[in-house]
Amino acid sequence: MGFEDATTRRAFVRGGGRLALTAALGGVGANLLAGCGSDSGEAGATGATGAATTAATALKLGFAIGESGLMQPFDVSAMNMARLAIGDGPSDPAFSTTVSDTKSKVANAARAAVDVLSAGADVVVATSDYDLGAPIGLTCQQRGVLAMSPSAATTKWGPTGIGDVAFTMSNCAPAQAACVAQWAFEQMRWRSCYVLWDTSIAYQTDFKAAFEQEWTKRAGRAGIVGIDTFSANDASIATQVSTIGRLASPPDFIMLICYPPPAATALRQLRSGGVGVPVVGGISMGGDYWLKTVPNLSDFYNPAYASLWGDDPNPRVNQLVEAYKTKYGEVPLVSDAFLGYAMVEVLRAAALKAKSGDSKALVAAMPTLSDVDTIVGKTSFTAEQHYPATRPMIIEGVQGGRRTFVATVAPES
């Protein structure tokens, strides 16, 4: 299955989402969920946290996210990390938070944005996907409010898709693809690849185009021995598995561009169909919450922001994972969680530079930030690039169903 019914996503992209946005703006403005509220409505504000201080600058973060549904592993882990960052840092700015659950449905996105804005949010933190979060970004664009996404990776989360108020903490999809291609070619010395691509969301379209460019730049056009597509809603990829199995020579690896749970289904079918070559996934295939659906998986790799497994080269990362485990009873479900922590670090820098928590002042300050030290590395933005484009990433691997750190890669281009 996909993030939700594919026709709903397409309706938004073709204009249906803007109708939902207009309607919303016309209206009235378990350890993982520790500290989070929920209600029985489709998308209602769920409370606030953060003690009042004597700090000069107050800054309220409004999380319009999937507290439930498919985005929960990404969104709630990032929010929990953001709350840890608030507690770890100085009292100026004085952060507080409010939350509204989109239930991981695009139809609830604009309403969730209105909910947190009505609760006084200075910054809206959107669900970590462009397709599901675009109505949130567009709501903020209409009001001139900073719209942060922890891990939307398409370059559309910015001036080209939402507008000047939209920024993301995620390495953009082209940078992620460059890291993967560079690592596969230079460190693994692989020379041939088969691309298996789920066409259902914008991030994956960006990643596929960038990966094809970066890989062929190194391995030549002959380095891609085949490209096949499928949809997240497809129950079977038997045809694609059969095509790969009939190749005269197996590829050195398969580039699987998809997200769980459909990516796990595809991976399981590849292995059960006799395709045993290494498989590389995208950033959304991090974490171990889906690994049990592909028992004893080996020779699988994916990019990540930092390691959750206690073996990251940065001791601060390992300490933060332990702190998260102490507070929430488990490690974060995905490495995207670190972007929630980094987001607070960046917002502190923006507020310091703007000398204000006013959203318009923050919007103006964001593209001037350069080499801000964060838990995931030095982070910069420009007027054109509202996403980090050169920040290093790690590659993590799975052998015998267990994850480990493999390498750190800085994109060359």
Let me know: does 124 contact 148? Beta carbons within 8 Å: yes
Sequential pLDDT tens for the chain (413 residues) = 333 333 333 333 333 333 333 333 333 333 333 334 433 333 444 444 444 434 458 999 999 999 999 899 999 999 999 999 999 988 878 999 999 999 999 999 999 999 999 999 999 999 999 999 999 999 999 999 999 999 998 899 999 999 999 999 999 989 999 999 999 999 999 999 999 999 988 889 999 999 999 999 999 999 999 999 999 889 899 999 999 999 999 999 999 999 999 999 999 999 999 999 999 999 999 999 899 999 999 999 999 999 999 999 999 999 999 999 999 999 999 999 999 999 999 999 999 999 999 999 999 999 999 999 999 999 999 999 999 989 999 999 999 999 999 999 998 86
> What homologous superfamily is domain 6-171+332-368 in, according to CATH?
Response regulator (3.40.50.2300)
Facing residues of 228 across strands? 196
Q: Transcribe 133-155 into DSSP letters.
A: HHHHHHHHHHHT-EEEESS--ST
Look-up of token digits 């590389």? 280
CATH 3.40.50.2300 residue spans of the chain: 6-171+332-368, 173-304+393-409
The Cα 337–Cα 79 span in angstroms is 8
Asked if omega into 313 is within 30° of 0 (cis), the reply is: no
Q: In which element (H, E) is residue 244 found?
A: helix 238-245
Q: What is the pLDDT of residue 133?
A: 95
Q: Which two tokens stand for residue 339?
A: 């972007």
Question: What amino acid is encoded at 297 in this protein?
Answer: L
> What homologous superfamily is domain 173-304+393-409 in, according to CATH?
Response regulator (3.40.50.2300)
The Cα 266–Cα 26 span in angstroms is 42
Let me know: does 78 contact 115? Beta carbons within 8 Å: no
Q: What is the pLDDT of residue 57?
A: 85
Burial class (CB in 10 A: 0-12, 13-18, 19+), 384: exposed
Cα 37 to chain center, whole Å?
A: 22
Burial class (CB in 10 A: 0-12, 13-18, 19+), 343: buried
- Other C-beta atoms closer than 10 Å to the C-beta of 57 total 18
